[in-house]
Structure 1
Amino acid sequence: MSRPGAFVVVGAGPGLGASAAARFARAGYPVGLISRNAETLRQLSADLGSTGATTDFETADVTDELALSTALELLRARLGPIEAVLFSPRPSLGWIKPVVDTTPSDLENALALSVQAAASVVRAVVPDMRQRRSGSLLFTNGGAAVEPHRDRAVSGVAYAAESAYVRMLHDTVAADGVYAAQLTVVGPIGPGAKHAPEAVAEALWRMHTTREQALLVLR
């Protein structure tokens, strides 16, 4: 039996990214990790490797299109075709401001992270997925996508834009055998929080394997 294609986490961190990587690794997927923090990536990769998983990582600022596309290409060269991508970069806490205090540069930075970086990933991996007629593009964001709040304006704007982008992407690539979907998590994710990272990772796994929904909201 052939090995599954790779699972790549864009914006990998010790919370949801690590749990999703572990879930796909248990199913036999080689795992690639991308973020700006090399030390975090080394630790995550070591933790996965200790379970017997095949894993590798590349550092990149996900808002740098060339750096991100290069990282994805290097991981594809070492791990094999990319079968699934999780796009889950963490926004800056400094962007959390009331709507009237939100600056144009706040919005520019948030859209660069949530939408432009998402488009960079898609441009890098979708051509091969379409050629193989196989692959999943999974995107996560927070409750502001469905319940925008005046005191967290940047998240409401950026997440709504990301959700619209993913919906259009889903409608475009489905006919080519590629699955694109958004998972919106309302409430905090973490140990002892409303949503356990492992439970959210399991939801992502179900989305990838069933390919039934363009949007899943966890409340």
Structure 2
Amino acid sequence: MKVAIIGAGPGIGLAVARRFGKEGFEVSLLSRSQDRLAALVAQLGDVRAAAHAADLTDERSLEAALADIGPVDVLVHNGAGAVQALAGQGVHVGHVPISAAVVPDSPASPEAVAETHWRLHTARDLHEVVLGDLATVKAAVSSRVRR
């Protein structure tokens, strides 16, 4: 059995990978950073694991990684990214609580920036989930057609 973990990281992603590995699954980890993924695979020890670097917000990148993995039995969505900049406003926010967002030199109110940050953050995360689902289905259908 095979599991793909989209948005594999050192916290929840690693814990999920360990659990599935303990249950005998082959684990495929997907995230942007090949270096970080290699470190995670090393931490998994005897678990059959593979690293697949992909931009989770880019359809082609995610499709290519999931096609390389092939059909999976379980797909775990663990991706969540922070908005790095609110376009055109010069407002920079990191991975901070929305209520604590810093708004330097912005005409927008803190409340408006917090709402915009929340909407962009949520839209990005939802986008990653939909892309992951579509790419997984395409890989599964493609493998069945080739049989």
Counterpart pick for 1:126 among 132, 137, 140? 137
C-alpha deviation, 1:104, in angstroms: 4.8
C-alpha deviation, 1:105, in angstroms: 7.2
TM-score, normalised with respect to structure 1: 0.49
TM-score, normalised with respect to structure 2: 0.71
Percent of aligned positions that are identical = 27
Determine if contact 2:81/2:121 at 8 Å carries over to the other structure.
no
Residue 35 of structure 2 corresponds to 39
Within the alignment, does 1:64 sit opposite 2:64 as a pair? no
Residue 7 of structure 1 corresponds to 3
Residue 112 of structure 2 corresponds to 100
SS at match of 1:22: helix
Q: Which has the higher contact order (CA 8 A, sep 6+)?
A: 2
Residue 75 of structure 1 corresponds to 69
The aligned runs of 1:15-34 (5 Å cut-off) are 15-34=11-30
**Larger strand proportion of the pair:** 1
Report the more deviating stretch, 88-97 or 35-44.
88-97
Q: Any unmatched runs of 5+ in structure 1?
A: 133-219
Aligned Cα root-mean-square deviation (Å)? 2.4
The higher radius of gyration belongs to 2
SS at match of 1:34: strand
Distance 1:105 1:16, change over 3 A: closer
- After TM superposition, the runs of 4+ consecutive aligned structure 1 residues lying more than 2 A away are 94-99, 102-110, 126-129
Q: Any unmatched runs of 5+ in structure 2?
A: 83-94, 102-109
SS at match of 1:28: coil
Determine if contact 2:79/2:128 at 8 Å carries over to the other structure.
no
SS at match of 2:38: helix
Determine if contact 1:95/1:106 at 8 Å carries over to the other structure.
no
Residues 10-36 of structure 1: per-residue CA shift (max 9 Å, x gap): 000000000000000011100000111
The aligned runs of 1:1-219 (5 Å cut-off) are 4=1, 6-48=2-44, 50=45, 52-76=46-70, 81-92=71-82, 93=95, 96=98, 97=101, 99-102=111-114, 104=116, 107-108=119-120, 110-112=122-124, 114-126=125-137, 128=140
Determine if contact 1:34/1:59 at 8 Å carries over to the other structure.
yes
